[in-house]
Each structure stands twice: as C-alpha cells, then as structure tokens.
Chains A and B, each alone.
Chain A
C-alpha cells in the first residue's frame, strides 16, 4: 500500500501521519490521551460507544476518533468545551444503563467504565436510571464464565472477539432499540451453547458483564481447613504474567516470587504443572512416533496428522466444529489433568496422605481449564482429579487479599517431588512451544542427537504468525527407528481459534499434509489466555512470550526427557510411556458435540 502523508493539526499542533491513520492514533502519537471503551487493539473498529469523540473544525457533529481516518488540513480538538460536555454526557448515558454497584462489583478497580467516570468525576444522576436487567440473576450456568447483562454497555468487544479471533460467535447482538442486548442463541444459558470457555471475551470486556466464575472463597476455605492437604500447581504462562497484577512490566519473570506468595497463602505444597508438561511431551512424543510407525510400517489406517490436546478451549472447539477429527487428537490429557491424578495417586503415596483429604488447586492462565477440571471423565484417581482452578487474575486477588507484598518477596523454589521441570515445559506457555518441546525430545529419541538448531531454539515454530509451518528432515536414525530415515517431518502450528479453523479447513479439504499439528485456543497461546491479566494486546503478548523464552534459556535442563523426576516416575510408577498406568491416569477420550 502506498503511504501518502496526511498533514493535520491536533490541538493546534501540526502532525504528519500516514494515510489511513485514525484521528485517535494520530492524537496518541502526539501523546494526547483520548478515552476509549469499544475500541480494542486486537479487534476491528466499532465506533459505537462514542466516548472517543473529538471536535473537528468546520464540522457540525463530533466524529468518533477511533473510527475516523485523518484527512488533509483537518483541525482537531481533543479537549474543547464541546468535547468535554459531550463526553461527559456520553459517559452519563452509558452509566444510566449500567448497574453501577461498583463497591460490590468483581471488577471494582479494574473496570474501564469506572476509570473513565472517575476521570470525569461523574456525580449526579443526570439521566433516568434505565437498568432494566438489574434484578436479573447472573448467568452462572458455565463453570468458566459468568455473564451479567446489567453491567453490559453493548460495546460489542465480546461479540467481535468471539467472531473475529475465535470464529465461534457464541455471543451476538440480538433484538433492537432499548431491548438490544448481547446474547446467545435463543437467550440460552452460556453452558448450553457452542462456547469454548476460552475467556477471550472476559479479557476484553471493559466492565464486569463477562467475568470468570471465581472460586477464591472455596480455595481459602480448604486452605484454612486443617484436615485438608492442599497442593497447588502453576501453569507455565502464569509466571511471566502474574507480575502485571502488581504493576510489573508484562513478561517479567517472577516464578520465584509467585512460589513464595503461594507458600505464604498457606498451600501445603507448591508444585509445578511444568512437571506434567514434561511428562506430556514424553507421552505425546511416543504417541506420535507410535502413530507414525503404525502408518509407515504396519500400514494401519491411523489418524494423522496428530493434533495436540493441551488446550481445553481448542478441544471443545474441535468437539463442536470438527467432530470427525476427534481421532486425530492426541489422547494425552492436558498437563493440568495429568497432574491431578498423579497428585492423588503417586504423590499421595509418597507423602503418605489419604487422597480423600487431598485438594488439588491449579493456577491457570485459562478459564476453559475450569470447565476441563469439571469434565466427568477427569476422575482417573477415583476422586475429582483437580478440585479448583483459579486464573492468574484470581491469584493476584488472593495475594492482595492476604496482604502479601508481592514485589518484596524473595525468590523461592518449588517443592519436590512434582516440582522439577525443564525449559521445554516452560515454553508450553506460548504458541509453538509444545511443538518445539516435542521436537526437542522426539528428534533425540529417534536419532540419538539433539535437534539441529542453534542452542536448541527451534526458531521456525516461534513467532506470532497465525498459522506457522515447518519441516524437519530426519537423518541418520537409530536402528530401531529405521522406518523414519530420510522422512521429512512436517508440522503446523495455529493459535487463536479463527486460525485453527483456517488450518483445520485445509486439513479437511486435503490441501494440508502434516504429521503433527499444535493448536492453542487463545491468541499467542496460553500467555494470551482468557485468565491472564487485563489488558491484553499483541505488544503485551510479545513481551510475555519473550519472558517465556528467557525463562527457557535460563533453565539448566531444557529437554523434557532430561527431567530426573520424569525418569523416576517411569521407573517406579508408570513403568513405560503409553503403558497401562499411563492409559488409566494420563490419557482420555473426546466426545462429539453438536455444531449448533
């Protein structure tokens, strides 16, 4: 696209910007802050909330700066008397339809509408209170997402998120006029519609209309219960994001502080989902090699490409939209759900605890994990394998409630056992990470040599491109893997369900020819998960990803099969990958669900 420069003045300051720039972007370039609500970096322009209106010299109406491109000679005022008055009225009108019970609200202090009304010191009720939905009960049918229409300002960020980023469209704009609302098919409860529980809508909701179902109180209850032995596991992506809850830069590595905070919160043992991420690689890597052997040597009709199964949002998407490909999903449970049954069997035995008195809590960047833990098949230990799932944000809340000064904590390490991990597990947290971890191990199993990439960094699978492809030639294999000699292993990676759909449609129509596919439901993978600190945008996610790769490089061990605790668990408990015990505890199956 040719880049013509456009000259304009904002608040009497001349500026020259590229053609197509919006007034909002031009104003920000000059460091003039214009408030926004419906606008979001990840989404298309909507221009419906109107709080970003500015005055244009010679124009009768105030244009929405987020939706208006600059033009030559334009003179814009971002804070004239007319703008101030209009903006104040706009916020007052939004509040007239908003259930502003701020002090009792889950998002109190984290609400964009509250922030703007605070800025403008909105006082009196100028307009008639129109909160019709005030008496309506919240929709808490879903174990992951709570929906409260009385808080909704109809900015439609959630609708755009669900359509554009996730290609699900569980939420849509329905009805019209004063009845207009954001709703589901036939106003059904969230748990009864095609929702993947990914929580991306929550990440972008400017108010508390969409929030996670919170289980903080239940977790404090079990912590205070002297008869309960409460262990906590932490997902890879939480350690580079929880710092944001305490004002640190996105991507700051705070693993040690997080562990210290969890211990101070009163968890009996602080363990790591990264351990079971390493275990996932061993199980899933072996599953891939077995499928390849069955296809290439035994001539069996096996489902290829194999697809990763770590992301519960992706799993539910697949169950709804591509049920014919369920056999392609790895049967491996996600690291969270591998951790649960091992904690209540292997670990319980080691620490001499009755699994009936044991509670497993997980800290996840994810809201779909709450749904996953509730799946009836996730009871391999004979108990509910994972009792409670909290998001990174909820952990932030717990730490604040407990009066722990996070930033002043000294680093502490995870408890043993089920606390040891490698760099391969850490990178599970970002798109391409599971693939990289799997390749690091699978290549070495087959050839006896490390992957041929400098410092083990498999760059082709990294980055934020929606769909990534890579191929790795397997040469000079060990004798038992002779059938893979000269084979070019083709892999693909997608993140965000809209990208997953693009890739899946290629697999479906036969134009894609891969052996192994990694898919994560959320944009940029778990670091951009629905349970991560708000706000989110590409810049923030890139910083978190950099934090993840940094953590990987700082680990002594960087390949899952080098994890000594993994070696030990196979020696003394699981005996072999894909063995009997693994089958019972670490593998699962999937159910076709209706498309609509």
Chain B
C-alpha cells in the first residue's frame, strides 16, 4: 500500500464508504496534500467503489478541491461582483507583479499559488482575500503585499 492509499483508507474508516462519504474524504486529502493527485483519486475510487470519473467530476466542481499541485500557501482573491467593483483587479495585478506569476499559477519556489474564488460571503467588507484559511477583508494593494510578505517570512 502506498502512503496515499493508506491515508485514504484511514479516512474511509473514519468517514465511511458510502457515496456521501466522498466529500469529507476529498477535503481531508486536500487538507493533507494540498491537492488531489491522480493516485489519490484512484485510491478514493477504489476504496469507495466508485468510478474515477465520478470522483473527478465531484472534485472538479469545487474550486477549493484542486486537482493540480498548488503552492504551500494558496492566495484566493474573491472575483464576484461586489469585490470586483471594489477593486479586486488591482489586488491581483499587484500580487502578480510581486510574486512574478500570472493568475492561476504557482511561484517557482512552490511557496504561493495565486487564484480567484467565487463569493466568500464578505461583500460588505470587500474586496477580500483569503490566504489558506485566513480571511483578509477590505484589502488594498499595499495591505495585500504586507500580508503576503508575512507569509513569505513564515514559509520555509
């Protein structure tokens, strides 16, 4: 058994092997591995007796369930209307300049991925930025740079 197969089996022991156990297991894998690799999805399909296309179909529906490798820190800028009107584009272009990546990409040192997210429910304090599980409301380009610099210091 590979490491990921063992991990998936453990998670299935916790969450069950029903079709509705799929979501918590997908989330657990993403939590631990930061993305769903092909091997991980095959392991989940095997453990739950589902087709891999079904597992991929579910995973690809959710923005937060990545199926491609991501950096150690994931920055998500809210892209929906309110944040858009409040200037999320400026945040993104500033971060693109700072990190030397385009939206959707990961830095060459693997420390950051710069992504967008659908509405995060903070419209009253837009624009918002999410780094990993931490929310940063009423962000400005300057504040965004400061926040990312903090993470840079913390990340080995």
Contacts and interface: CB of A to CB of B under 8 A. Distances in A.
A170 B51 contact: yes
Contacts of A183: 53, 56-57
Interface stretch (A72-80, A173-181, A551-559): A173-181
B52 A194 contact: yes
A175 to B, nearest CB: 5
Contacts, number: 50
Chain A, interface SS category: loop
A174 B57 contact: yes
A185 B53 contact: yes
Contacts of B75: none
B67 interface: yes
Interface in B33-64: 38, 41-42, 45-46, 50-57, 60-61
B61 A168 contact: no
Interface residues of B, number: 16
Interface residues of A, number: 18
Contact of A169 (B41, B46, B51): B51
Contacts of A173: 57
B98 to A, nearest CB: 28
Contacts of B57: 172-174, 183
B61 A172 contact: no
B56 A172 contact: yes
B6 to A, nearest CB: 17
A595 interface: yes
A171 B53 CA distance: 6
A170 B51 CA distance: 7
B38 A186 contact: yes
Counting chain A CB atoms within 10 Å of each CB, which of B41, B52, B53 scores highest? B53
A567 interface: no
A169 B61 contact: no
A170 B60 contact: no
Contacts of A222: none
B139 to A, nearest CB: 25
Contacts of A176: 60-61
A401 to B, nearest CB: 36
A174 B42 CA distance: 16
Given A185-B41, A186-B38, 4 more contacts: A176-B60, A184-B53, A194-B52, A596-B45
Interface of B: 38, 41-42, 45-46, 50-57, 60-61, 67
5 contacts: A172-B51, A172-B53, A173-B57, A176-B60, A185-B41
